[in-house]
Amino acid sequence: MKQLTIKIEGMHCMSCSALIKDVLEENGVKNADVTLEDATITYDENKIDEDKIKALIREEVYEV
C-alpha cells in the first residue's frame, strides 16, 4: 500500500469532497480522506497509480 497527499483546488462544499472520495474508492483506491483543501489517499499500486488518481479528480473538474 502507498499513501499520497495531494492538494485539490475548486472544491466548495462537503458534497464536492464526498464526490471525490466516492469516485476514487469506486476506482481502486483503498481509502480517501478528502477535505476541501486536499486528499490523503491510500492505494494499492498494483490496482491504480498516482497518474490515474489525478486523472479521476480532473475528470470531475477539479484541479490537482
CATH number at residue 8: 3.30.70.100
18 found inside a domain: yes
What's the mean pLDDT in 19-38? Answer: 96
Please state the domain count of the chain.
1
pLDDT at 11: 92
Instruction: List beta partners, residue 40.
Output: 5, 33
Residue-number span of the structural domain to which 16 is assigned:
2-59
Would the pTM count as exceeding 0.85?
yes
64 found inside a domain: no
52 found inside a domain: yes
CB-based burial label for 52 (10 Å; 0-12, 13-18, 19+): middle
37 found inside a domain: yes
What's the mean pLDDT in 14-42? Answer: 96
54 found inside a domain: yes
Distance CA 57, CA 30 (A): 16
In percent, how much of the chain has pLDDT > 90? 100
